[in-house]
């Protein structure tokens, strides 16, 4: 089933395939950068949001598609399901980590491990290997992706390191590591494991643009060359001061539940964010509220009035990579950096996928072209020419 982007003009050829696309965190960033993207997503709720957001989508299981279905794509991206690897999840992925790493080695040797993956306790654990399958199939088919961008929870970093080793054997330059979302202007302390790979140039993880948040340390304190981290209050400007009382990470003791003030970044936004209580600090008597779903989306840096649809919207929001972080990651993979003023405008603006809705694309190309450390070879010139 294809949920096509409605448009008066034909869509541009796909340049990026987003595996496990969810409600569109990576896709929003791709649109800001002017990259024609299609996402593969099986969840009907996330697909409902994508349809309303006019994001090009194939609805179904990633395992039923391959690079041959998207022959014009030069960028492979994705964030596989994290539920079995995250601390808040089942933990079966973390327990199976050694087994997953063995599957990586076998895939590098050309083995088809699809049947053996069914032996895992939770079949979602093996989905983390799908991007490697796609990369290897594209390489062996003679049409490798020029750029690969993968993200997941920190526990998956050993898998990304192993995948990077395999990609290096087939000619990719790679970089892996953990990024802190607040260091890129996201009003939230969220960590993500990132893998970047490129066929034609050296790659490195994006450099922080904002300071790292540390409890009790003033926003104005730190490296003067970096911008201050962003608070919830700066994002949710219509709210009076509040204190967030978290619903998790407490061992069951309500008195020990995590607390953040509105002048601090949010804790990691998860699918349970609607359970967090907000104590309105200006009231003489305790008065409590909750984050609305649009507010949760703003804390994830989705644009204003992003058209959340379907059921379980809180889970959709919590599962997504913050588009602002995704924009920095994609730009770095392509050899550029982003103008923070333009990025602020994109994040703070209303959502659009019209022909003129790529506010960061000129910035990306200009930075690439002017950077002495990133010489542009013919292959990269060809790639950059296709993303506007």
pLDDT tier at 351, thresholds 50, 70, 90? very high
Q: Which CATH class is domain 2-212+319-385?
A: alpha beta
Catalytic residue among 47, 82, 363, 368: 82
44 within 8 A of 302, measured Cβ to Cβ: no
CA distance 62 to 84: 18
Instruction: Based on the residue annotation, tell me whether 82 is a catalytic residue of this protein.
Output: yes
Q: pLDDT digit string (tens) for 105-117? A: 999 999 998 888 8
SS3 174: strand
Q: pLDDT digit string (tens) for 356-385? A: 778 887 666 555 443 433 334 455 445 555
Q: What is the mean pLDDT of the chain?
A: 87
Q: What is the DSSP letter of 66?
A: -
Q: How far is CA 214 from CA 222, 232, 263, 264, 365, in A?
A: 10, 15, 13, 10, 34
Taking residues 128-153, what's their average pLDDT? Answer: 96
CA distance 320 to 67: 23
pLDDT tier at 63, thresholds 50, 70, 90? very high
pLDDT at 82 over 80: no
SS3 41: strand
68 within 8 A of 139, measured Cβ to Cβ: no
Q: What is the DSSP letter of 77?
A: E
CA distance 66 to 141: 11
Token pair belonging to 326: 């995704």
Q: Name the pTM for this structure.
A: 0.89
pLDDT tier at 2, thresholds 50, 70, 90? very low
What pLDDT score was predicted for residue 187? 98
Q: Where are the domains of the chain?
A: 2-212+319-385, 232-300
Scanning the structure block, which residue is given the tokens 């808040």? Answer: 88
What pLDDT score was predicted for residue 1? 40
pLDDT tier at 247, thresholds 50, 70, 90? low
Q: pLDDT digit string (tens) for 176-205? A: 999 999 999 999 999 999 999 999 999 999
What pLDDT score was predicted for residue 47? 98
């Amino acid at each position: 089933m294809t949920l096509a982007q409605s448009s008066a003009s034909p869509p541009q050829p796909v340049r990026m395939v987003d595996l496990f696309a969810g409600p569109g965190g990576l896709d929003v960033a791709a649109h800001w950068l002017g990259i024609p993207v299609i996402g593969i997503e099986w969840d009907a709720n996330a697909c409902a949001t994508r349809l309303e957001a006019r994001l090009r989508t194939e609805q179904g299981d990633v395992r039923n598609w391959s690079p041959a279905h998207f022959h014009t794509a030069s960028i492979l991206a994705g964030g596989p399901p994290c539920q079995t690897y995250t601390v808040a999840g089942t933990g079966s992925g973390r327990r199976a980590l050694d087994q997953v790493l063995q599957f990586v080695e076998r895939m590098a040797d050309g083995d088809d491990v699809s049947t053996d993956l069914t032996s895992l306790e939770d079949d979602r654990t093996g989905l983390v290997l799908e991007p490697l399958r796609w990369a290897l199939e594209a390489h062996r088919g003679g049409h490798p992706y020029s750029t690969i961008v993968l993200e997941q929870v920190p526990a998956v970093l050993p898998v990304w390191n192993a995948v990077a080793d395999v990609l290096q054997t087939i000619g990719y330059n790679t970089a892996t590591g953990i990024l802190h979302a607040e260091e890129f202007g996201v009003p939230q302390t969220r960590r993500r494991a990132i893998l970047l790979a490129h066929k034609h140039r050296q790659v490195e993880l994006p450099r922080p643009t904002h300071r790292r948040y540390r409890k009790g340390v003033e926003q104005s304190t730190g490296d003067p060359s970096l911008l201050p981290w962003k608070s919830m209050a700066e994002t949710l400007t219509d709210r009076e001061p509040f204190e967030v009382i978290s619903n998790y990470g407490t061992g069951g003791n309500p008195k020990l539940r995590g607390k953040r003030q509105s002048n601090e970044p949010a804790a990691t936004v998860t699918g349970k964010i609607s359970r967090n209580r907000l104590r309105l600090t200006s009231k003489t008597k305790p008065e409590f509220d909750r984050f609305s779903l649009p507010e949760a989306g703003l804390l994830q840096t989705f644009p204003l009035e992003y058209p959340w649809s379907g059921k379980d919207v809180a889970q959709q929001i919590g599962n997504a990579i913050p588009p602002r972080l995704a924009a920095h990651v994609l730009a770095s993979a392509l050899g550029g950096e982003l103008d923070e003023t333009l990025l602020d405008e994109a994040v703070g603006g209303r959502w659009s996928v019209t022909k003129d809705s790529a506010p960061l694309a000129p910035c990306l190309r200009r930075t690439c072209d002017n950077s002495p450390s990133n010489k542009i070879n013919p292959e990269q010139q060809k790639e950059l020419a296709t993303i506007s």
